[in-house]
């Protein structure tokens, strides 16, 4: 079974704080993704990585950065959290190549006050 874990299920941060969200997968997947999900807006891709130290911007990268130093771990960083970053954050992973299914972690519900 594919296992994707995320560091926190719920997180509350203050405006301006630096926030780290971590994701770990145990299936030796090459691709890892960070999404946010908001009511009525669906899943929106923030960043993805197809190899260690490699990353590509998704549809909404502004205000976020990522780090992938090891194959199994992909971190999302909010440099200076803002209230409009309150959301559900979902990490996913997949095998290398085109069009493979993605497996999701449980999600982190982030609230920025």
Partner 1 sequence: QKEVEQNSGPLSVPEGAIASLNCTYSDRGSQSFFWYRQYSGKSPELIMFIYSNGDKEDGRFTAQLNKASQYVSLLIRDSQPSDSATYLCAAGAGNNRKLIWGLGTSLAVNP
Please report, as ranges, the residues that interact with partner 1 according to CB under 8 A: 31, 33, 40-43, 45, 48, 50, 58, 90, 94, 96-107
CB 23 within 8 A of CB 91: yes
Q: How far is the CB of 58 from partner 1 (least distance, A)?
A: 7
CB 102 within 8 A of CB 34: no
Q: How far is the CB of 67 from partner 1 (least distance, A)?
A: 19
User: Cβ closer to partner 1: 78 or 90?
Assistant: 90
User: Cβ closer to partner 1: 11 or 45?
Assistant: 45
Other beta carbons within 10 Å of 25: 22
Q: Name the β-bridge partners of 90.
A: 35
Q: What distance in Å separates the CA atoms of residue 96 and residue 93, rounded to the nearest whole number?
A: 9
What 3-state DSSP class applies to 92? Answer: strand
User: Cβ closer to partner 1: 20 or 54?
Assistant: 54
User: Cβ closer to partner 1: 14 or 57?
Assistant: 57
Q: What distance in Å separates the CA atoms of residue 85 and residue 31, rounded to the nearest whole number?
A: 24
């Amino acid at each position: 079974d594919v296992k994707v874990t995320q560091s926190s299920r719920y997180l509350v941060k203050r405006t301006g704080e630096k926030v780290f969200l971590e994701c770990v997968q145990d299936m030796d997947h090459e691709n890892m993704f960070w999404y946010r999900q908001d009511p009525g807006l669906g899943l929106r891709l923030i960043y993805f990585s197809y190899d260690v130290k490699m990353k590509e911007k998704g549809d909404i990268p502004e205000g976020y950065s990522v780090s992938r130093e090891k194959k199994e771990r992909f971190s999302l960083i909010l440099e200076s959290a803002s209230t409009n970053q309150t959301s559900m954050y979902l990490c996913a992973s997949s095998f290398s190549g085109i069009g493979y299914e993605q497996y999701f972690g449980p999600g982190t519900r982030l609230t920025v006050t």
